[in-house]
């Protein structure tokens, strides 16, 4: 059977792409397979684990619950888009310093969710971080390092100039 495709335009990390995409292809698979951006990880593929979290038009969403063609015209930021001019984003620095990752599988989704969470709550308590990050599952760290990383990143991100905040 011939695959049903649509043509779409999408901006990912500042780069514009025009692609012909199978209608049934998930945004997460499109980014990984068609654009080679394998930083977005695919875990449960039904919206439970949070590993594929990324930004579409400034909001953190689960890319396994969106069809790629639904992002036609959208501005997408993946984990690859966090680094600016060779410098890590404060969230990446903090994850590195606080041992916020072990195997790294959940890390991209964790960081994207954490950046989004801090937009709404720039100065959270530890309990608020735990609740705010509860949509992302990690099977290695016991979460302590992750919570520490988000708490460490919060003041650093607050200090960033708006234009370099990424979102």
Partner 1 sequence: MKPSSFEMYTPNNIEDALSLLDKHGDEAKIITGGQSLVPTINMRLATPKSLIDLNRIDGLRYIKKEDNKILIGGVTRHHDLETSSLIKEHCPLLGLAAGCIGHLAIRYRGTIGGSLAHADPAATLPVALLTLDGKVKTTSVNGVREFDAEEFFYGIFTTAMEENEILTEVEIPIVPKEAGYSFSTLTRIHGDFPLLAVGVLMEVEEEKIVKARLTVGGINPLTERIVDVEEMLIGKKPSDELFYEAAQSSKDFMEPESDISASAEYRLHMVGVYVEEALKNAWQNIGKVGN
Residues in contact with partner 1 by CB under 8 A are 1, 3-4, 6, 22-26, 29, 45-47, 50, 53, 59-62, 64-67, 69-70, 72, 113, 116-117, 120, 130-132, 134-135
Instruction: Please say which residue, 22 or 140, places its beta carbon nearer to partner 1.
Output: 22
E-strand stretches of the chain: 5-12, 15-22, 53-56, 59-62, 75-77
Token pair, residue 80, equals 């690859």
CB 60 within 8 A of CB 144: no
Whole-number minimum distance, CB 121 to partner 1, in Å?
10
Residues linked to residue 55 through DSSP beta bridges, in sequence order: 60, 77
Shortest reach from residue 92's CB to partner 1, in Å: 19
Cross-strand pairs, 7: 20
User: Considering the complex, what minimum distance in angstroms separates the CB of residue 108 from partner 1?
Assistant: 13
For partner 1, the closer of residues 130 and 152 by Cβ is 130
């Amino acid at each position: 059977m011939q695959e049903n495709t649509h043509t779409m335009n999408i901006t990912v990390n500042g780069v514009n792409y025009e692609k012909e995409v199978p209608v049934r292809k998930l945004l997460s698979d499109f980014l990984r397979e068609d654009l080679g951006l394998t930083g977005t990880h695919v875990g449960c593929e039904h919206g439970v684990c949070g590993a594929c979290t990324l930004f579409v038009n400034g909001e953190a969403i689960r890319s396994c619950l969106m069809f790629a063609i639904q992002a036609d015209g959208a501005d997408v930021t993946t984990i690859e888009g966090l680094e600016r001019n060779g410098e890590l984003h404060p969230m990446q620095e903090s994850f590195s310093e606080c041992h916020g990752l072990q195997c790294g599988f959940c890390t991209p989704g964790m960081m994207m969710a954490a950046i989004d969470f801090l937009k709404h709550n720039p100065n959270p308590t530890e309990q608020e971080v735990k609740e705010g990050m509860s949509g992302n599952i990690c099977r290695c760290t016991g979460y302590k390092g992750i919570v520490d990383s988000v708490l460490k990143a919060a003041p650093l991100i607050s200090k960033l100039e708006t234009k370099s905040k990424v979102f």
